[in-house]
Amino acid sequence: MAKADTYTHRKNTANVHLTGLEFGKKPPQAIDLEEAILGAAMLEKDAIFNVQGLLKPESFYKETHQRIYRAIEELAVGHNPIDIYTVSEELKKKGELDEIGGAYYLSQLTLKVGSAAHIEYHAKIVAQKYIQRELIRISSEVQHDAFDDAIVVDELLDGAQQKIFDLVEGNMRSETRHVSNILKETIEELTAIQKNDDGLSGLPSGFSALDHITLGWQPSDFSIVAARPSMGKTAFVLTMARNMAVEHKIPVAFFSLEMSSMQLVKRLLTSETGIASTKIRGGKKMIPEDWKILEQKIGDLINAPLYIDDTAALSIFEFRAKARRLVSSHQIKIIFIDYLQLMTGPPNTHGFREQEVSAISRSLKAIAKELNIPIIALSQLNRMVETRSGSNKRPQLSDLRESGAIEQDADLVLFIHRPEYYGMTEDENGNSTRGTAEIIIAKHRNGATADVQLRFLSEQAKFVDDTGDPVTQHRVEPLPSTYQSKMNNGYKNQIETSKQIEISKEFEVQSPF
């Protein structure tokens, strides 16, 4: 039996059990309200448009009502009149008129309601009953599968989470709001931003030039940081995670699928203390002076709200559950994933790598929106970068590995490019490229694309602000203030903070609400 047929068989079996009063109770239902909704839809031509976003044919408990509602929906889609006669004719075309009780049953439905005044309220109750029935059905299926030793527990958990997630996604509807309410919230947000010295609307990365372009990492955004191996992807996002957690006390979660939590902490210690990585990793013995520095610097990391999860081959379902718990219990404000291609997607995509990566990408965007936090995932690039001749080694969107869906789903795509890695020690103007790193903002759904220049300190495995002016495709004015951190000391951007603050005060916006 095919997988889809097996699922349908289980669903039908569960429904049979439920209607057979397996639990000693009648399944949740509201037959009277179902009749009132159908009757009202045939009485008033526009009534159906008030409930289309709330109901679907499966929402009705009686199969007869499902068929009638489906016929009404099809008439509405075709911009046809909706009344007893047109619905009757539509059902006759489908060969279902006699099965629902004929035209007489339709006429009886219209007699049971006076008007469509309360149709939307009735629809909400019917929708709630449907969700209750689906929860009971899913619970019954999970209970049945839990007794089957042939089913792997991980697959059982994934399947259960997927069914619940699909139910939630399929029944979540945002209400239409008047623009005045949205404008009020927008002005309040703009006013709050004006009062901030940093001028950012999102979370700071710790890199002033990058923050200038992005205005910080924005809530609900799904961002990709991509590069070829050994370009410093992990070092880049780990530096940002450290800057946020240590300097700004922002709760950060870091999911590492490639490195263990201890390896990540050793990297953090190297960048925080400046002690050679060979000593931190244990390859060389640390001298007393090293231990003294370590003791002085470690306190900042101990007190930082940084949470690390190193679960290997993390599934998208496990990630969703863990992310929800972290946001709920630790008020996590941003999540990093290292890296996307090491995650596993839904069971039905296994064996089809492009489909699996696409499903993971879509899910991460949905989770970022659901939790209203930024999610930043690392991604590998394909080998096309390496095969390009000459100095044309700069990555581009078409180099994203395994799936075009990543480019489509991401709100922000950043590439890391270090010319020195390819043996290019000078740029076209003869300037040295040693230690330089370009952060290429190749896609920015809500802003400009640009190139930002940083410094990469390979011995300490960290990125810092560049000493010179940021290299960008668009000429930009400096931020009113910068984010200085201990990791960025020695690379301070010389900005006249006080002058910029005075200028910004002249443009303070007072909320009219």
Among all residues, which ones are annotated catalytic?
258
3-state secondary structure 228-249: CCCCCHHHHHHHHHHHHHHHCC
CA angle at residue 24 from 18 to 26, to 5 degrees?
Answer: 55
Backbone angles phi, psi at 61, to 5 degrees: -75, -45
Cα distance from N-terminal residue to C-terminal residue, the chain: 62
Whole-angstrom distance, CA of residue 198 vs CA of residue 480: 6
Query: How far apart, in Å, are the Cα atoms of 67 and each of 73, 75, 79, 366, 434?
Result: 10, 13, 19, 32, 70
- Of 334, 352, 341, residue with least CA distance to 313: 341
Q: Do residues 250 and 305 lie in contact, with contact meaning Cβ atoms separated by under 8 Å?
A: yes
Would you call 92 helix, strand, or coil by DSSP? helix
Question: Which tokens in the block code for residue 246?
Answer: 């240590």
Question: Which tokens in the block code for residue 373?
Answer: 């936090």
- Of 203, 163, 77, residue with least CA distance to 348: 163
Query: How far apart, in Å, are the Cα atoms of 356 and each of 167, 294, 361, 374, 387?
Result: 21, 43, 9, 22, 26
* Burial (CB count within 10 angstroms: exposed 0-12, middle 13-18, buried 19+), residue 512: exposed
| AA identity, residue 284 | K
Q: Do residues 501 and 481 lie in contact, with contact meaning Cβ atoms separated by under 8 Å?
A: yes
Could you tell me how many residues make up the chain?
513
Q: Do residues 119 and 50 lie in contact, with contact meaning Cβ atoms separated by under 8 Å?
A: yes
CA dihedral 7, 9, 11, 12 (to 10 degrees): 160
Question: Which tokens in the block code for residue 485?
Answer: 């951190």
Would you call 394 helix, strand, or coil by DSSP? coil
Q: Do residues 440 and 394 lie in contact, with contact meaning Cβ atoms separated by under 8 Å?
A: yes
Whole-angstrom distance, CA of residue 499 vs CA of residue 503: 6
Whole-angstrom distance, CA of residue 440 vs CA of residue 416: 6
For the chain, how big is the Rg over CA atoms in Å? 29
Residue 464 is inside which H or E element, if any?
strand 462-465
- Of 318, 325, 324, 323, residue with least CA distance to 342: 318
